[in-house]
Amino acid sequence: MDRVGRTGQAGRKGLPVRRTMLKCSWAVLCAVGALLAGCGTMVEPQTPAQLIEVLPRDGSRDVTKDDTLRITATEGRLDKVRVTRRSRGAGHTVPGSITPDGRTWRPSAPARRLELGSEYRVDVVALDDEGRRAARHTSFTTKAQPRRFIGFFTPEHRQTVGTGMILSIRFNRRITERAAVERGIHVSASPPVKVAPHWFGATRLDFRPEEFWEPGTRVTLDLRLRGVRGAPGVYGVQRKRVHFTVGRDQRSVVDARRHTMTVTRDGQIVGSVPVTTGSAKNPTYSGDMVISQKFEVTRMNARTVGFGGEYDIDDVPHAMRLTDSGTFLHGNYWAPKRTFGKENVSHGCIGLRDRKGGDPGSPAGAFFRDSLTGDVVTVKNSGERTVAPGNGLSGWNMSWQAWRAGSALRPAS
């Protein structure tokens, strides 16, 4: 599902997709129409607002501290709600509770006032009257503190990641004094390895070594941005040290021509599974992509990429994001079993066989369980161009020389 933003699903007909970012807005109790030929009868789809309401709205920016944070199920009941707040790079769980009738979640009294200069992420799981699970994921940001900038970093503190993880920092304001900001950020590794920065525009700074990380490497990010001038009249406020650990080395190669994915772990082939990838009209990107997010279940909607209501699937299982523009590797329960290993029928995503609701024992479920964010998925023989280095954590598609040239310092430190 990507064609720079392919959100089409394997086996669904007539789902053109534009290259634009896919937002996996998670929906609750959505009756998914059988938009796949042979999938069943058509059920009239409902919009996310009819299913579950999250305030502030998904994607809202410059939210004020007095705005209301509330999650409401207009049908069914809420099962699990998790709200996290990221400020100055650190993550905090927002305390709250679901009302006895299961219809509403509200933050606890101390957290009812939103914090400025923060990013909020909302994950909701709900159950319909028959106990079927669906989910929604939204995010919003509050107004920046006057004359201050902060950086939100990936991966999280103390996270274990795959060997292809690229450390990415996204700033809440445009940075014009890039050299000064770059000097205020230090990335080190144990055992030692040279790590270099690369700017993608005025709000994103990534770090990576020349080759994939060695398993067991401990990486430390030292943010020394307090008082650093990022732009005229704008200064940093962060002074923080975080670290993450590189786990085992898992790499997966998808051969679109052969309709297979071969998984190698620590140098040994551990399996090969049949897949379906992008069709000739909507091929999957070539090159190295990195798993940046994992969702046990998520919603994929054509409207999020600028199209009408061609499809709206609220329960895509075992979904792993590969690009910002919408390429996912995910479970597929709607395509006939014979599709996998035989045909490429998606709009750019990589589909593995699964069951509705997500089967942990399916090929998709097993791969989801054994994968880490930071694992590398390489696509070949798709007929599509190589994914852009700044589309997701795809910087491995850039040469080391070109990567180092993206530093604001000369030579790159």
What single string gives the DSSP state of each residue in 334-397?
A: SS-GGGTTT---BSS-EEEE--TT--TTSHHHHHHHH--TT-EEEEESSSSPBPPTTTTT-GGG
Q: Which residue type occupies 250?
A: Q
* 347: annotated active-site residue: no
C-alpha pair distances (Å), 342 with each of 40, 54, 336, 380, 381 = 22, 41, 11, 16, 15
Phi-psi region of 102 (alpha: psi -120 to 50; beta: other; left: phi over 0): left
Phi-psi region of 15 (alpha: psi -120 to 50; beta: other; left: phi over 0): beta
Residues in a beta bridge with 298: 316
In whole angstroms, what is the distance from residue 413 CA to residue 407 CA?
8
Q: Which tokens in the block code for residue 113? A: 């006032």
* 330: annotated active-site residue: yes
Q: Which helix (H) or strand (E) holds 125?
A: strand 119-127
Q: Which tokens in the block code for residue 144? A: 């920046």
Q: Which tokens in the block code for residue 263? A: 């998984």
CB count within 10 Å of CB 44 equals 6
C-alpha pair distances (Å), 25 with each of 51, 59, 214, 315 = 12, 10, 35, 11
Q: Which of 137, 198, 259, 330 is catalytic?
A: 330
In whole angstroms, what is the distance from residue 95 CA to residue 97 CA?
7
* Residue 210 main-chain phi, psi, to 5 deg: -70, -40
13 near 345, Cβ under 8 Å? no
In whole angstroms, what is the distance from residue 298 CA to residue 313 CA?
8
Q: Which pairing describes strands 160-161 and 239-246: parallel, antiparallel, or unpaired? A: parallel
**In 3D, which of 360, 353, 315, 318 has the Cα closest to residue 335?**
353
In whole angstroms, what is the distance from residue 157 CA to residue 39 CA?
43
Give the residue numbers annotated as catalytic, written as ranges: 330, 349
